[in-house]
């Protein structure tokens, strides 16, 4: 927490310094542009189906949108933690992000003078405008900000589409191209694919059915496998099944955003061999919330096969609930699933 604060403060100082020196730097940049007009204009097209309906819960209406993305952008603002992860892992640096939401393990990917761009749901448009970024990336929670942000700088939406793996591959490859790090992107993808295969093999070898649950405020909800209809809102819960091949103990869990509320009895009755737990309160750092371990340590759960066999596996809540999709994060998820090999 204090680390984030100090970075935020630093960002603020840097921002004001920048504002003060704005006049001086414009002329210098102007010269550079005059010398190298070719470099300035080099762009890559990025096209996606943009959901123009921003209301929560409304049926999406898609519109094909193309944005010219500058190659090797100097100042990138990122609203999606997975993209922040990938940019950093490919050797890039991010100039602005919702600093409060950046998990500890991704803080290295921020520029030293990174500024706070708002929250995952709301952009600080004035600050971003003042910073004059070259590229803005939104995704998932922040996709609705696209319209406003695109007026400030070229903005692309790297939300999850066509499933987790396809998105990971597409986004990593694209960002590699933008950052001029195609080789690194290819290498990272190769490593991740191998890792996922290894994790899948471990899951198959361990055998038995599994259930993903989320614990929040002392209540449980069952996580759902994706229905393969491209609805990615439920995807984060389903990753354990969809990507890592866990055999769901119940097939028909509806892919609600936060899963389906269940009782402790549900666990005992369906009795999965393996229980994969996402502690939501830990993910959003709810202070003083009961840890999932405490909630799950009760007479009913202790009677389940998963508890008796020490098969309750805790997943990195930040990686699985907040970020999911970046290079380092996928590696964390692979490591999480590989816990199964040791049991």
Partner 1 sequence: MTAIATSTGVPVQARPRRAWAGALIGVALLVLSVASLFIGVSDVSPLALVTGGPDGRAAFLLIVSRIPRTLALLLVGATLAIAGLIMQMLVRNRFVEPGTTGVSEFATLGMLVTMVLWPGMALLGKMGVAAGFALLGTWVFLRIIRAVPVRQLVLVPLVGIMLGGVVAAVTTFFAYRLDLLQSLGQWAQGSFAGVMQGRYEFLWVAGLMGVIAWIAADRFSVIGLGEEFATNLGLDYRRVVAIGMVIIAVTTAAVLVTAGMIPFLGLVVPNIVSLIIGDNVRRSIPWVAGLGAVFVVACDILARVLRFPYEIPLSVIVGIVGAALFLWLLLRKGSRAH
Q: Is 220 in the site for partner 1 (CB under 8 A)?
A: yes
CB of 286 to partner 1, least distance (A): 4
321 binds partner 1 per the rule CB under 8 A: no
According to the binding rule CB under 8 A, does residue 286 interact with partner 1?
yes
**Binders of partner 1 among 69-108, rule CB under 8 A?**
100
Q: Does 192 bind partner 1 (CB under 8 A)?
A: no
CB-nearer residue toward partner 1: 6 or 263: 263
- 261 lies in the site for partner 1, by CB under 8 A: yes
Q: Name the segment binding partner 1 (CB under 8 A); options: 103-111, 133-141, 236-244, 298-306.
A: 298-306
User: Of the candidates 7, 77, 83, 262, which one interacts with partner 1 according to CB under 8 A?
Assistant: 262
Is residue 254 classed exposed, middle or buried when 0-12, 13-18 and 19+ CB atoms within 10 A define those classes?
exposed
How far the first Cα of the chain sits from its last, in Å, is 34
Tell me which stretch binds partner 1 (CB under 8 A): 138-146, 152-160, 228-236, 255-263. 255-263
Binding to partner 1, residues 299-318 (CB under 8 A): 299-300, 303
Applying CB under 8 A, which of residues 49, 63, 162, 269 lies at the interface with partner 1? 269
Q: How many CB atoms lie within 10 A of CB 21?
A: 10
Query: Of 4 and 43, which has the nearer Cβ to partner 1?
Result: 4
Residue 123 as a binder of partner 1 (CB under 8 A): the answer is: no
CB of 298 to partner 1, least distance (A): 6
Q: How far is CA 197 from CA 173, 311, 313, in A?
A: 20, 21, 19
- Give the C-alpha separation, 108 to 102, whole Å: 10
Q: Is 117 in the site for partner 1 (CB under 8 A)?
A: no
Smaller CB separation from partner 1, 201 or 285: 285
Q: Name the site residues for partner 1 (rule: CB under 8 A).
A: 100, 216-220, 222, 253-254, 260-266, 268-270, 280-281, 284-289, 295, 298-300, 303
């Amino acid at each position: 927490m204090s680390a984030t604060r100090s970075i935020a403060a630093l960002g603020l100082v840097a921002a004001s310094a920048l504002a003060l020196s704005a006049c001086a730097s414009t002329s210098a940049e102007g010269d550079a542009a005059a010398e190298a007009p070719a470099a300035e204009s080099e762009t890559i097209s990025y096209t996606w189906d943009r959901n123009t309906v921003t209301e929560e819960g409304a049926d999406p209406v898609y519109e094909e949108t193309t944005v010219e993305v500058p190659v090797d952008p100097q100042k990138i603002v990122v609203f999606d933690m997975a993209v922040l992860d990938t940019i950093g892992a490919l050797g890039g640096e991010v100039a602005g992000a919702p600093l409060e939401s950046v998990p500890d393990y991704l803080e290295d990917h921020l520029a030293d003078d990174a500024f706070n761009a708002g929250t995952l749901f709301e952009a600080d448009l004035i600050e971003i405008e003042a910073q004059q970024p070259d590229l803005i990336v939104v995704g998932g929670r922040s996709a609705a900000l696209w319209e406003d942000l695109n007026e400030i700088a070229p903005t692309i939406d790297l939300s999850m589409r066509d499933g987790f793996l396809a998105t990971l591959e597409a986004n990593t490859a694209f960002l590699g191209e933008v950052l001029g790090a195609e080789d690194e992107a290819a290498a990272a993808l190769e490593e991740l694919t191998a890792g996922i295969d290894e994790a899948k093999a471990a899951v198959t070898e361990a055998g038995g059915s599994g259930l993903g649950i989320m614990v929040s405020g002392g209540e449980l909800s069952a996580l759902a496998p994706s229905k393969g209809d491209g609805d990615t809102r439920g995807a984060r819960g389903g990753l354990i099944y969809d990507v890592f091949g866990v055999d769901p103990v119940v097939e028909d869990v509806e892919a609600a955003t936060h899963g389906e509320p269940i009782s402790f009895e549900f666990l005992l009755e369906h009795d999965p061999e393996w229980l994969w737990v996402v502690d939501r309160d830990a993910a959003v750092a709810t202070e003083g919330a009961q840890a999932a371990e405490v909630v799950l340590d009760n007479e009913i759960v202790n009677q389940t096969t998963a508890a008796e066999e020490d098969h309750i596996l805790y997943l990195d809540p930040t990686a699985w609930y907040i970020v999911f999709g970046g290079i380092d994060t996928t590696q964390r998820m692979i490591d999480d699933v590989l816990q199964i090999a040791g049991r």
